[in-house]
A = this chain, B = another copy of it.
Amino acid sequence: MDPSRLVALIMAGGGGTRFWPRSRRARPKQFLRFSGEDSLLRATIRRLEGLVPPERTLLITGADQVSLAREHSGLPASSIIGEPEKRDTAACIGLGALLAAKIRPDAVLVVLASDHLIDPAEGFRASITRAAELAVEHGAIVTLGLRPDRPATGFGYIEFGKRLDETKPAGFQVAAFHEKPDAETAGIFLRAGTFLWNSGIFVFTVPVILDAIKTHMPELHAGLMSIRDPRNPEDVRRVYPGLVKKSIDYGILEHAKNQIVVEAAFQWDDVGTFEALGRYLKPDKNGNLARGGAIALDARNNLVDNDAKGTVVLSGVSDLLVVRTDDVVLVVPRKHAEKIKDIVDQLHREGRADVL
């Protein structure tokens, strides 16, 4: 496969509620740094170096974040597209397919999230290359899957069937997509050895994804076809808000035939919560995890994310999550770390948009 057919589509539309107060309406997660030097978004772009150049990289983000994304990503202005409103991933990928076809009619679309931790980058590029070859060779929708190392309940799973050949990274036929399981089911998936985590990274040609949309989401397909020029923001703005709001997982992947999963040759996390961040931190002797300045005295199993100058001092407390930014300190039981969105919703209801 000619590598110059690759067009990257980075979806960066996250609202940033799960990482509040680190992430804010005006500064969602993808613009933040986690473990590395780069923000998640910049790391995503950098990871493509040598595989997909900036002029074949598309970044779709919220219309109100376009200028931030331009400044932050270093991508050419023409690469950054503002979604008039959020219509979930199926519509976003549909629009991306139309845009990719304008770059190259024979484009192979590489759909990426902007907020994943991935390492090493060479493994990522090798996996994408392999997925693109299979996508073209089989006319398939190809998803990257990760070998699970724990019964995670925060990810979807892909049950795989027959291995396609002996080439590495390994490609398998997809047997079924499974939504985020409960803990018991996750344990079954893990022990079975025939399930991979759904990374949310997809590779397919433009005709393959548009055909799949036409078959499984005909309304969305009709809407997309009514966009005269996807590069014209006016045209997009006229159609986009009326498109069906559904994820590609529910709308397409759970139904489509001819799907392949490539077992990714890299470590991956989607850093969806502060707890996920905690997995990248080394505990002290009392199980406290901290990013940034923190001192724990007679304190156990706390998680601190200190993004400001200075120090968080914990004494005599346990199992707390403390997040500090320049202007907000959040203190919650660590078991609520998965429900930060509820706190954000509550602050919204109480008219405290000033802190969101």
Residues of chain A at the chain B interface (Cβ within 8 Å): 21, 295, 297, 306, 309-317, 320, 322, 324, 326-333, 336, 343, 346-347, 350, 352, 354-355
Contact = CB atoms under 8 A, between A and B. Distances in A.
A343 B331 contact: no
Nearest to A349: B297
A327 B352 contact: no
A65 to B, nearest CB: 23
B295 A317 contact: no
A320 B316 CA distance: 10
Contact of A329 (B297, B322, B332, B343): B322
Closest 5 CB pairs of A and B: A310-B327, A315-B332, A312-B329, A313-B330, A316-B333
Contact of A310 (B309, B313, B326): B326
Contacts of A316: 332-333, 336
Contact of A295 (B310, B324, B355): B355
A36 to B, nearest CB: 25
25 contacts: A295-B350, A295-B352, A295-B355, A297-B346, A297-B347, A310-B326, A310-B327, A310-B328, A311-B327, A311-B328, A311-B352, A311-B354, A311-B355, A312-B331, A313-B328, A313-B331, A313-B343, A314-B331, A314-B332, A315-B336, A315-B346, A316-B336, A317-B320, A317-B333, A329-B329
A98 to B, nearest CB: 42
B328 A331 contact: no
A350 B355 CA distance: 35
